[in-house]
Every structure is written in structure tokens, then in C-alpha cells.
Copies of this chain bind each other. A is one copy, B any other.
Amino acid sequence: MAVAPWLGDLVAQIDARLRAVFAEAAERARATSPRAHELAEAVAELTLRGGKRLRPAALFASMRAVDEDAPIERALDASVALELLQSYLLIQDDWMDDDLERRGGPSVHAVLRRQVGNERLGDSLAILAGDLAAGMAWELLAAAPFPRGRAREALKAFGEMHWEVVLGQQLDLVGHADVGLTHRLKTGSYTVRGPMQLGALLGDATAAQLDALQHFADPLGVAFQVRDDLLGSFGRRGDVGKPIGADLRAGKRTALIAEAQSLLSEADGALLDRVLGNASAPDEDVERATDALLRSGVRERLEARIDALASEANAALASASLSEQGRTMLGELVELLVHRDR
């Protein structure tokens, strides 16, 4: 889909603010210790390398829905805080999964391992780089220009995001059976609901507006997760279905797999069970299981669910007292979050 003009502007301004924040961090690093810049640079490099800035988009649309004259400037520090929280989580996530790549470059622990020539030390330094990012995120949020009396609510919302995402990561690591809950904790509050709450507070929202935005955010957050699952399993929307054999062999029990199991014939269900998490499953079985998944109709079912959730989100806006400009942006946000290609 084409990117809305407001979003292009926002991303450019966020990136400019990120660069300013990292220039200031470099200054501060120099004043702190002769090695501090190494950690600060690792965080900067990862954060500036990419990222779709979806969370800032949710925050900004929400702020404008409440106060259509709020200047973009007001949204920047809280947006940067969200991006830094994200960097902190990615750094830890990559280390925990030992993923050596992220956003088309080396992950932070991979960079630091190479830099110091020692795996264990590099890993410890990566954890510290994450700590630095988290601390900076909290600092920025604490200093962001919330209207009088709203900063405390914003910090509370940020704490809730931090808490949930850490516990979602725990469930993911221990391979908890309730994949829906894992996904909800990992992405729910800190991708959609949390950023929208921060945006609404920046706009000095009434209780009714906060409530309406939450009723918008909750189904949208779930739709975002379902899209994530579909993209993880089948690739881009235009694709006929990229081979998902590797995922099956790795045994990642996604929400999609759980859903598919209820749709499969007994024989196909048994086949899927044999392949799932079985690194030495014969190629032929993996291909047949992939085929069964595609034929099961799970993809169409999840696409339909996404549409229903998106309608539910849009309906929550209908009765709310929000600006026209904001409504339009929120509608575009729905498209952005649930009809994305990556």
C-alpha cells in the first residue's frame, strides 16, 4: 500500500530526532568514560538501521485524534522512547535466540563479540547496551512534554508495556503452550495499546477518549499479531506460500499451527504432529504437511479474522468524540498494521 503523507513526514522527523538523541548520547558517553561510546554506538547503529516506526505512527495518530492541532514536535521524545525500548528488547531477544542478524545487519551481540574478540564478554556487553537503551527510553519518556498532570499516567503505561513484554519473552523462551498469550504479551501492549495510550495522553485525552482509543487498539493489536503469524508462515500476501518446512521442523508452535490443527483431517493432523519439531523428518513428509496446511483453509480463515478485527476496531471509532483528521489517520493506521507485507 502507499504510505500516507503524514506518515512519511513523521518517520523523517523521528529519524532526525533519533539522530539528535544519539549525538547527545555520544557527547554524554565521552564525558562519562573512555569506553562508553562503544555501547552507545551499538544502540544507535541498530536503532537507525531500520524499523518501520509503527509505534510512533500509532502514538501520533492517537495524539492527533484527541488534539488535531498538537504539533508533531510534541510527539517526538515519547516516540524515540518507544524506539529505544524496542531496541533494548531486540538486543536481548537476539542474544537469547542467538540470532546473528537483525534488520539486514549483524545483531548487537554479534557486533560486540567481534569487536572484543570474546564471545562471553561480547554477550555481556550486549546486555549492557540493552540496559543503556532501556535507561535512555525511561529518561526520555520522563522528560517528554506531557500536559500538566498526565506524565504519571504515561510513565505507568510505559511500566505496563515493559512488564508485559518481558513476561511475553519469558513465555516464548520456555515454549509455553498458550501461544496466543505469548504473542499478546510480546506485541499487544507495546505495539498498539501502549503507544496509543501515550499519544492520547500527549493530547490530554478525556477518560471517554482514552476508553474509545483502547476499544480501537485492542482488536487492532490482535489483528497485528495474526498478520505477524501469517507473514511468518506464508510470507508476503502476494506469495503463493513460501516453503514453511523450516518452521515446521524447528517446531515453532505458532497460533497459525494451533488453528490449522482444528481444520485438518485426522490423517493430516497426525502427519503435522510427526513433522513438528522433528529436525530429521523426511523432506517428503515436510512437503506433504506444508501442502496440507495450505489446503486446510487456515490462511483464508485468518485473513477473514483480520478483516473482522479491523472492522471491529473501525467501529469503535464511530461513536467516539475524536477529530476528523485523527479518525482518518487511525483508519490509515489500521491498513498499515494489518495489511503490511513485512
A264 part of interface (Cβ distance < 8 Å):
no
Minimal beta-carbon separation of A160 from chain B (angstroms):
8
Cα–Cα, bound, A181→B138 (Å): 25
A166 to chain B, nearest CB (A): 5
Interface string of A7-43 (1 = CB under 8 A from B): 0000000000000000000001100111110110000
Q: Which of A56-115 contact B (CB under 8 A)?
A: 92, 95-96
Give the residue name and chain of the B residue nearest to A164 (CB). Answer: B32
Interfacial chain B residues near A169, Cβ < 8 Å: 128
CB-nearest residue of chain B to A159: B139
Interchain CA distance A169-B124 in the complex, whole Å: 10
How far is it, in angstroms, between the C-alpha of A166 and the C-alpha of B269 when the chains are bound? 50
A33/B167 contact (C-beta < 8 A), A152-B143, A173-B124 known: yes
**Given A33-B185, A127-B92, A132-B166, A159 and B142 contact (CB-CB distance below 8 Å):** yes
State which size class the interface on A falls in. 35 or more
Known A-B contacts A28-B163, A138-B155; the reply to A92 vs B33 at CB < 8 A is no
Q: Are B135 and A142 in contact (CB under 8 A)?
A: no
The minimal Cβ–Cβ distance linking A169 to chain B, given in whole angstroms, is 6
**Is A228 interfacial (CB 8 A cutoff)?**
no
Question: What is the CA–CA distance of A34 and B178 in the complex, to the nearest angstrom?
Answer: 10
User: Does A237 reach chain B (CB closer than 8 Å)?
Assistant: no
Q: Is A162 interfacial (CB 8 A cutoff)?
A: yes
Asked if B174 and A156 sit within 8 Å, CB to CB, the answer is: no
Which A residues, 167 to 193, have Cβ-Cβ distances below 8 Å to chain B? 167-171, 173-174, 176, 178, 181, 185
**12 A-B residue pairs with CB within 8 Å:** A33-B181, A33-B185, A116-B174, A121-B173, A124-B173, A131-B162, A131-B166, A135-B163, A138-B158, A139-B162, A142-B156, A143-B152
What are the nearest 4 A-B pairs in CB distance?
A: A139-B159, A142-B155, A135-B162, A96-B124
